[in-house]
Amino acid sequence: MIPVCAAVILRSGKILLARRRPGLRHAGMWEFPGGRVEPEETPAAALIRELREELGIEAVVGAEFARCRHAYDFGEIELIALLVPSFTGDLKLIDHDQFAWVEARRLLEYDLAPADIPIAKALAAHRRRDRYRGTHPRRFSEKYKELGGDPAATAKAKARGSTPAGAHLPVMLDEVIEALEPLAGAAVLDCTLGWGGHAAELARRAGPQGSVVGLDRDGEELARTGQRLQDLGLKVALRQSDYADARKVLAGLGLAGVDALLADLGASSMQLDRPERGMSLKADGPLDLRMDRSQGRTAADWLAQATQSEIADALARFGEEPDAAKIAAGLIALAACGRAPKTTRELVAAVAAAKGLGPGRLRKKDAFSPHPAARTFQALRIVVNDEHGALRTLLEDLPDLVHAGGRAVLLTFHAGEEALVEDALRAQAGVGLWRAAPTAALRPSPEEVRANPRARSARLWRVVRV
């Protein structure tokens, strides 16, 4: 595989394309400038060098935008597209005979070099954010430029350590790939597809001969992720399913087991951020919290019929909420006078009142300080999605889902999940199903936590099938 870097150079909302001059490979075709990544070079360092040599500019290289593979007659390349939010110097025609600054949606109108087409497709999927009345956006869909996939806005959000709205940053990606070691041709099961960040990398490693299956119970996000993976030219078989039914799904696909299995537990950033999903602590929305909104009871419905001790028990068990009893009493008092919370904001207010906090105390100081209602939301999410029931079934089935010599990785995010995973894997290792009991779980690096605070509580558990 030949690593090649490509620049998505941005200026005033447009992207630079350059046309290859006669006498060079792909003469007359348009491309995102870049070139080969030499051994010992990072893609970013290679891109800075290439842009200096072929365009005469000094580039500021931002986040990685996408990766895709293409087989040319001289070999297969892996094209790594990186964002270049700014540069200094005047553009010079050295390897090219023409430049064009192009709106993302028009990129595909150009005769592009074949390897660049998936990158252009991913960029073209960008749409303008919704127009809003007045001076300030009010609704979620109006607020964030990156919701439509604007690469510059996405790069800015990542640079300030936030998750770009409408996206999810894969947690401990390098560690997951290292632990799963997916080889070309591997059969892979991603039980929790989400945004597809892990699945995309697993699909690249498994290559065209591999079979990658992605499950998610959330049909709304699954459809969006399917489109994105397709735009990147990646082959992943998608199924809307609970991972408790993974065995049935694999059997339906004619797979007896897989070489690599991943379960990245909990909710995705898209679910947590979109107000209509009713999981957001910041924006108001219906108090829902279901990952699959076509099934089951909403959190508002559950709260409306639960007893005080059921609520207190759920908050203590699934959220480790120290004020579980006070919050449960407050919620029951509200229900008694017909004011049981029906929206996320009403639930936040009820928790704050039970904890004796004024509105000023509800604002998070920074991305690392927990929101006072976070534990309550987590507990209710676990209840309405029966997260622990599904996880127990997955853990029971795990040894049957993984081939001999195959690997499984689970990413947990709180103590309840950690205990279930650790106990099950240890017991199974004890009866000789895994090569060894999982050692202490891996944690994300401080750099990752700084760049993505949502990774801070992640723990990675890995096992190899006997």
Pairing of the two strands 187-190 and 258-264? parallel
Could you tell me the two tokens for 371?
Answer: 């929101």
Instruction: Classify 463 as helix, strand or coil.
Output: strand
Number of residues that bind ligand SAM (CB under 6 A): 22
Q: Could you say which of 196, 330, 416, 444 contacts ligand SAM (CB under 6 A)?
A: 196
Give me the count of residues in the chain.
Answer: 466
| β-strand pairing of 237-240 with 211-216 | parallel
Quote the least distance from Cβ 170 to ligand SAM, whole Å: 4
Nearer to ligand SAM, 175 or 221 (CB): 221
Q: By CB under 6 A, is residue 268 in contact with ligand SAM?
A: yes
String of contacts with ligand SAM for each residue 140-169, x by CB under 6 A: ----------------------------x-
CB of 459 to ligand SAM, least distance (A): 13
Q: Name residues contacting ligand SAM, limited to 234-253 (CB under 6 A).
A: 242-244
What is the rounded distance in angstroms from the CA atom of residue 332 to the CA atom of residue 143?
35
Interaction between residue 214 and ligand SAM (CB under 6 A): no
Measure CA of the first residue to CA of the last residue in the chain; give whole Å.
Answer: 31
| Single residue of 194, 210, 278, 372 touching ligand SAM by CB under 6 A | 194
Asked whether position 197 contacts ligand SAM by CB under 6 A, the answer is yes
Q: Coil, strand, or helix at residue 60? A: strand
Cβ-based nearer residue to ligand SAM, 129 or 168: 168
- What token pair was written down for 298? 């909403």
**For ligand SAM, which stretch binds (CB under 6 A), given 153-161, 251-259, 260-268, 301-309?**
260-268
Two structure tokens written together for 160: 């300030």
CB atoms within 10 A of CB 53: 12
3 state DSSP class of 295: coil
Rule CB under 6 A: choose which of 216, 259, 422, 448 binds ligand SAM: 216
Q: Of residues 50, 264, 273, 321, which one binds ligand SAM by CB under 6 A?
A: 264
Contact flag: residue 330 with ligand SAM (CB under 6 A): no
Between 344 and 457, name the residue whose CB sits nearer to ligand SAM.
457
- Collapsed DSSP state (helix, strand, coil) of residue 35: strand
Site stretch for ligand SAM (CB under 6 A), options 75-83, 109-117, 265-273, 294-302:
265-273
Distance CA 123, CA 146 (A): 12
Strands 459-464 and 402-412: antiparallel
Q: Which of 154, 163, 192, 280 binds ligand SAM (CB under 6 A)?
A: 192
CB-based contact 240:103 (threshold 8 Å): no
Task: Select 44 or 410, whichever has its Cβ closest to ligand SAM.
Answer: 410
Residue number closest to ligand SAM, CB atom: 194
Q: Which two tokens stand for residue 29?
A: 């075709």
Residue 25 φ then ψ, to 5°: -55, 140
> Which SS3 state, helix, strand or coil, does residue 262 take?
strand
| Binding segment (CB under 6 A) for ligand SAM, from list 96-104, 148-156, 192-200, 439-447 | 192-200
- Out of 80, 215, 383, 425, point to the residue binding ligand SAM (CB under 6 A): 215
Residue 221 to residues 165, 255, 310, 466, Cα–Cα distance (Å): 13, 25, 31, 35
Residue 135 DSSP label = S
Rounded to whole angstroms, the Cα distance separating 232 from 68 reads 6
Report 275-314 residues binding ligand SAM (CB under 6 A). Answer: 291
Query: What phi and psi, each to the nearest 5 degrees, are found at residue 264?
Result: -105, 95
| Token code pair at residue 227 | 């489109």
Q: Which of 218, 259, 321, 422 binds ligand SAM (CB under 6 A)?
A: 218
Binding mask 366-405 for ligand SAM (x = CB under 6 A): ------------------------x---------------
The residue (of 54 and 242) whose beta carbon lies closer to ligand SAM is: 242
Closest CA to 43 of 69, 5, 97, 81: 5
Candidate residues 266, 319, 341, 444; the one interacting with ligand SAM per rule CB under 6 A: 266
For residue 399, the minimal CB distance to ligand SAM (Å) is 18
- Where on the chain is the footprint of ligand SAM (CB under 6 A)? 168, 170, 192, 194-198, 215-218, 221, 242-244, 264, 266-268, 291, 390
